Amino acid sequence: MEAALAEGAGQGIAGDVVARCLLSEAIRIFRLGRTNDDIAAELTAAIDNLDEDAPLSFIRP
As a whole number of angstroms, the distance between CA 27 and CA 24 comes to: 5
Residue-by-residue DSSP string for 24-42: HHHHHHHTTTS-HHHHHHH
Tell me, what's the pLDDT at 26? 97
Query: For residue 49, what pLDDT band results from cuts at 50, 70 and 90?
Result: confident
Query: For residue 41, what pLDDT band results from cuts at 50, 70 and 90?
Result: very high
When pLDDT is averaged across residues 24-46 and rounded to a whole number, the result is 96
Taking each helix axis from N to C end, the angle separating 36-48 and 15-30, rounded to the nearest 10 degrees, works out to 140
As a whole number of angstroms, the distance between CA 59 and CA 61 comes to: 6
Cβ(48)–Cβ(59) below 8 Å: no
